[in-house]
Amino acid sequence: MTAYSDLMAFQRETEALSQIAGRLGWDQETMMPEGATPQRAEEHGAMANILHARRIDPRIGEWLETAEAVDDVAAANLRHIKRDYERTAKVPARLAAELAKTTSLAHRVWARARAEEDVASFLPMLQKVVDLRREEASAVAGDTDPYDALLDDYEPGATGESLSAMFSALRPRLVNLRAAILEQPAPTALSGVFDEAAQLALSQKLALGFGYGLENGRIDKAVHPFSSGSGLDVRITTRTNPVDPFNCFYSTVHEVGHAAYEQGIDHAHLLTPLGRGVSMGVHESQSRIYENQLGRSRAFTGWLYGQMCDAFGDFGIADEEAFFATVNRVSDGFIRTEADEVQYNLHVLLRFDLERALIAGDLAVNDLEAAWNDRFAADFGYAVDKPSNGVLQDVHWSEGLFGYFPTYTLGNVYAGCLHVALRAAVPTLDDDLARGDTSKATGWLRENVQQFGGLRTPVDTITHATGRAPHEGPLLDYLEQKFSAIYRL
Amino acid sequence: MTAYSDLMAFQRETEALSQIAGRLGWDQETMMPEGATPQRAEEHGAMANILHARRIDPRIGEWLETAEAVDDVAAANLRHIKRDYERTAKVPARLAAELAKTTSLAHRVWARARAEEDVASFLPMLQKVVDLRREEASAVAGDTDPYDALLDDYEPGATGESLSAMFSALRPRLVNLRAAILEQPAPTALSGVFDEAAQLALSQKLALGFGYGLENGRIDKAVHPFSSGSGLDVRITTRTNPVDPFNCFYSTVHEVGHAAYEQGIDHAHLLTPLGRGVSMGVHESQSRIYENQLGRSRAFTGWLYGQMCDAFGDFGIADEEAFFATVNRVSDGFIRTEADEVQYNLHVLLRFDLERALIAGDLAVNDLEAAWNDRFAADFGYAVDKPSNGVLQDVHWSEGLFGYFPTYTLGNVYAGCLHVALRAAVPTLDDDLARGDTSKATGWLRENVQQFGGLRTPVDTITHATGRAPHEGPLLDYLEQKFSAIYRL
């Protein structure tokens, strides 16, 4: 055996264990009996210890010293392994343990604070989390910007500065677009009650239509929709709300985008570092292009309107055109996860600027709520009414996830770029979508993005697929064109 | 930290990982998408390697040298850990790996041989499995009987000689009872088609009635019913057959017996060596007393008859008395897993004698089929018609499970002993069962058997609960009395 094959055999076993750990999380959200919670916490802890010990195993360092890359695939594998190993090695065991303990505690404190609308009770814990993550970031970053070290966990290669430049170009045009839209009369909102079994049946039809394969996956109900697993076992969840079938349909299509990426990676990369989606941003580009550029397009919603008429009878929307406007209705709201395409990125940009300032030390934890509320009022034009609609709404910071939020908008930017390339490559796209046929679109994405997994860097993945470096222009153009048409701006 | 607490912390983590591995098996039988099979094999392999490495970790030996037992619980924990560690240490790594590889291969060869009714194609693989298990048994047994070393894996402390003495007392009375029964007219067999949803609803009612707790468990469908997990997460499966609702009901009650044992162990023993059922025999005693002595009793079947009338309407059985006879109908059949209470142990005794002779070297693999067929004809009075009804019917030997079969009958013997003690302790038992109320019975079993988990040896567990050493008399008396009444012998 060579050092490379020894290393890869070790990594393959680690990845298999990591898949098991992920499925344990899936089980917890879908199948686990409630009384099992304390035992499950110990099981998760045992698995985390095993995985951590393998990630810092000094044999990895030894193998890396002599392993040779005979081809592009081997080079990419070594790049991933080296990056993870060096990063993990820079974080002292004491700090890693303290972070795990503190974020677990902070999560509970956050949940109570949110329920009680009590920001002050959360701030001491948030301070600890910020301090620990800053310490970790400094240990990893060396002389570079600590925020970049955190960002790198979710979007390898991205920097706060480059994202800031991109997001600064997004913000004014999105603020203007939003304001212009909200001056217009609103389209009809969906009303009525929609049979839950019929919602699930149509959401499964959508999942299969968008290329999700049940021979390597399954769909279950969960409180929050998610996609879980890589390779040959990629599971998604969905949920129903009797008065909001769009929630069921579009969260399903969103998770199918994530799952199709994992299912679509070349099986040659199974259980290797290349066998997973390459970054959160590229992952989100897949879920978002499935959900928005395809799923919320005029052509596809035309088909969906017919499906919903078949499933639910007359539900008060007159025709395809009105239905398209209803699906894409823009309205005021505090909550990021409920936001439409136009406003979603404004929610993210707010969080990005605040968390970057927190990590840089330019914003004190005690001033966070005021900063949030000021920024929200500036971009959205009205005041946050309570912390659960403002600074306490998201779980991320309590779990120490700084650097995660911007990948949502980066995904939208990538989706915008891919959408242009896709339309150029598939000129019949709207005709296909109008028949509910997404196969050419998803086939193009599989062929040009998904199959490669972690072979290229995130930016190179998008560049390879689109022929140019990712930029925010296409997303802005798409949003302005689409919503100008709907709202007659 | 003392050596004992270090050792226990290590064992606790191992046990948590072992629970995860078990749940991976549950997932495979109930939830896993079919296309995931190759990836799942790697996941199982990775988990098995982790668990094996922990079981032979030399730190266990060091801790054991200085660990001190401050009480009975600590003494029992150390006894279990020492036994497992010493046993595992005696098996060379080369042999363990070869056994894992060979049994995995033999399983596939057996499945094909059974499907094709081709004994000869299986014998070379079976020979290898027997040779490897004999080698393992010799390594573990030292100067004692190698078969006992295999048996000890499933029933610590049992010996082939003691079981043989017990089984020799069972066999003639069971052969005679069977022959006498089959000379009598047979009770009405169940006929008709039984709604599957109604079967599942009644089987869930039975499970809950027998004390299975859904806050720490769940019921799913699977091809073969099983119970899985310990402590706070103990899951069971069931199955339905439209023409055989008893299969659904009694396999559910059987698995509930196993699961109630695991759920009933004192939570103080959670994730320790005492937190699992102590042996296969004691486990089977719980499943069997739930299924047979309680579930197939005159009193309980009277209640069940009413339930089935409510669920299915008139299904052709005139009254409770006739229903009791139908439930306990004895008829010819080749298959162990389908056998009634009277004949079941004859199937087991046959396998015990043959496998003991194989391991002792007194029976050649090439002569196994003839020996099986001779013995079957002697005890059952008719000839095996094809290998899938004979020597190829069970999966066990292909998987290397020698020493496992006798624990089925040992469980029945234990159940017979417990039943006598239970009736003495709960004089109102039949009145309770006639109302479908098993709570006093299952409460007594929890109090006197289940809660202790691995605290005592298997024999001491039964002795403690019944006041005397286990023996075959009560089982034989129970069977003779019950079936003499039904068949008017």
pLDDT above 70 covers what percent of chain B?
100
Output the pLDDT for position B104. 87
The sign of the dihedral angle between the CA atoms of B287, B290, B293, B295 is negative
Is some CB atom of chain B closer than 8 A to the CB atom of A427? no
Contact call for B20 and A46, based on CB within 8 A: yes
- Rounded to a whole number of angstroms, the distance from the CA of B310 to the nearest CA of chain A is 28
Structure ipTM = 0.94
Q: Taking Cα atoms as reference points, which of B39, B25, B221, B34 lies closest to residue A213?
A: B34
- Nearest residue in A to B50, CA atom: A50
Q: Name every chain A residue with its beta carbon within 8 A of the beta carbon of B42.
A: 12-13, 16, 271
- Nearest residue in A to B49, CA atom: A13
Contact call for B232 and A38, based on CB within 8 A: yes
Q: Name every chain B residue with its beta carbon within 8 A of the beta carbon of A232.
A: 33, 35-40
Q: Name every chain B residue with its beta carbon within 8 A of the beta carbon of A212.
A: none
Residues in Cβ contact with A245 at an 8 Å cutoff, skipping those fewer than 6 apart: A190, A194, A199, A202, A308, A312
Of A27, A46, A232, the CB nearest to B13: A46
Q: Taking Cα atoms as reference points, which of B373, B393, B394, B392 lies closest to residue B384?
A: B373
Contact call for B218 and A31, based on CB within 8 A: yes
Average pLDDT over residues B271-288: 98
Is some CB atom of chain B closer than 8 A to the CB atom of A24? yes
Residue in A136, A255, A262, A341 annotated catalytic: A255
- Nearest residue in A to B25, CA atom: A20
- Higher pLDDT, residue B142 or A283: A283
- Chain B 257-316, residues with CB within 8 Å of chain A CB atoms: 270-271
Contact call for B232 and A39, based on CB within 8 A: yes
- Nearest residue in B to A214, CA atom: B33
Q: Please tell me whether residue A220 adopts helix, strand or coil conformation.
A: strand
Greatest CA separation found in chain B? 69
- Rounded to a whole number of angstroms, the distance from the CA of A478 to the nearest CA of chain B is 38
- Binding-site residue positions of B for Zn(2+): 254, 258, 284
- Chain B 27-86, residues with CB within 8 Å of chain A CB atoms: 27, 31-40, 42-43, 45-47, 49-50
Q: Name every chain B residue with its beta carbon within 8 A of the beta carbon of A50.
A: 17, 50
Active site residues of B: 255
DSSP codes, B380-441: HSS---SGGGTTTS-SGGGGT-TT-THHHHHHHHHHHHHHHHHHHH-TTHHHHHHTT--HHH
Contact call for B38 and A232, based on CB within 8 A: yes
Contact call for A20 and B16, based on CB within 8 A: no
pLDDT 10s per residue in chain A (489 long)? 699 999 999 999 999 999 999 999 999 999 999 999 999 999 999 999 999 999 999 999 999 999 999 999 999 999 999 999 999 999 998 999 899 889 989 999 999 999 999 999 999 999 999 999 999 999 999 888 999 999 999 999 999 999 999 999 999 999 999 999 999 999 999 999 999 999 999 999 999 999 999 999 999 999 999 999 999 999 999 999 999 999 999 999 999 999 999 999 999 999 999 999 999 999 999 999 999 999 999 999 999 999 999 999 999 999 999 999 999 999 999 999 999 999 999 999 999 999 999 999 999 999 999 999 999 999 999 999 999 999 999 999 999 999 999 999 999 999 999 999 999 999 999 999 999 999 999 999 999 999 999 999 999 999 999 999 999 999 999 999 999 999 999
Contact call for B35 and A213, based on CB within 8 A: yes
Q: Taking Cα atoms as reference points, which of A240, A248, A267 lies closest to residue A207?
A: A248
Dihedral, CA of residue B15, residue B20, residue B26 and residue B29, to nearest 10: -130
Work out the pLDDT band at B1, boundaries 50, 70, 90.
low
Is some CB atom of chain B closer than 8 A to the CB atom of A171? no
Is some CB atom of chain A closer than 8 A to the CB atom of B245? no
Q: Name every chain B residue with its beta carbon within 8 A of the beta carbon of A23.
A: 24, 27
Asked whether residue B319 carries a pLDDT value surpassing 80, the answer given is yes
Of B36, B42, B213, the CB nearest to A216: B36
Give the integer Cα–Cα distance in Å for B294 and B305.
14
Q: Name every chain B residue with its beta carbon within 8 A of the beta carbon of A45.
A: 13, 16
Contact call for B215 and A33, based on CB within 8 A: yes
Contact call for B233 and A33, based on CB within 8 A: yes
Q: Express each pLDDT in B162-202 by its tens digit.
A: 999 999 999 999 999 999 999 999 999 999 999 999 999 99
Domain range annotation of chain B = 3-151, 156-489
Residues B271, B12 contacting (CB under 8 angstroms): yes
Output the pLDDT for position B143. 85
Output the pLDDT for position B121. 97
B104, β-bridge pairs? none
Average pLDDT over residues B91-109: 91
Contact call for B13 and A49, based on CB within 8 A: yes
Residues A40, B233 contacting (CB under 8 angstroms): yes
Asked whether residue B251 carries a pLDDT value surpassing 70, the answer given is yes
Contact call for B40 and A13, based on CB within 8 A: no
Residues in Cβ contact with B368 at an 8 Å cutoff, skipping those fewer than 6 apart: B123, B126, B354, B358, B391
Residues B389, B121 contacting (CB under 8 angstroms): no
Output the pLDDT for position B38. 92
Work out the pLDDT band at B406, boundaries 50, 70, 90.
very high
Structure tokens at A158: 């991205």
Give the integer Cα–Cα distance in Å for A284 and A203.
20
Q: Name every chain B residue with its beta carbon within 8 A of the beta carbon of A216.
A: 33, 35-36
Q: Name every chain A residue with its beta carbon within 8 A of the beta carbon of B32.
A: 233
Is some CB atom of chain A closer than 8 A to the CB atom of B23? yes
Q: Express each pLDDT in A342-379 by its tens digit.
A: 999 999 999 999 999 999 999 999 999 999 999 999 99
> Please, what CATH class does the domain formed by A147-489 belong to?
mainly alpha
Q: Taking Cα atoms as reference points, which of A276, A258, A256, A257 lies closest to residue A266?
A: A276
Give the integer Cα–Cα distance in Å for A24 and A32.
9
Q: Express each pLDDT in B440-485 by its tens digit.
A: 999 999 999 999 999 999 999 999 999 999 999 999 999 999 999 9
Output the pLDDT for position A1. 62
Q: Which of A11, A14, A18, A31 to mutate to test the interface with B (most CBs of B within 10 A)?
A: A31
Q: Which of A233, A263, A269, A272 to mutate to test the interface with B (most CBs of B within 10 A)?
A: A233
Contact call for A31 and B31, based on CB within 8 A: yes
Q: Which fold has domain B156-489?
A: Neurolysin; domain 3 (1.10.1370)
**Residue listed under structure tokens 């499925």:** A23
- Nearest residue in B to A220, CA atom: B31
Residues B303, B434 contacting (CB under 8 angstroms): yes
Residues in Cβ contact with A197 at an 8 Å cutoff, skipping those fewer than 6 apart: none
Is some CB atom of chain A closer than 8 A to the CB atom of B9? no
Residues A105, A122 contacting (CB under 8 angstroms): no
Is some CB atom of chain A closer than 8 A to the CB atom of B95? no
Asked whether residue B129 carries a pLDDT value surpassing 70, the answer given is yes
Contact call for B20 and A13, based on CB within 8 A: no
Output the pLDDT for position A142. 86
Q: Which of B44, B233, B236 to mutate to test the interface with A (most CBs of A within 10 A)?
A: B233
Residues A279, A155 contacting (CB under 8 angstroms): yes
Asked whether residue B139 carries a pLDDT value surpassing 80, the answer given is yes
Contact call for B35 and A232, based on CB within 8 A: yes
Output the pLDDT for position A143. 85
Q: How many CB pairs under 8 A join A and B?
A: 110
Half-sphere exposure of A487 (CA within 13 A, CB side): 23
Average pLDDT over residues B313-333: 97
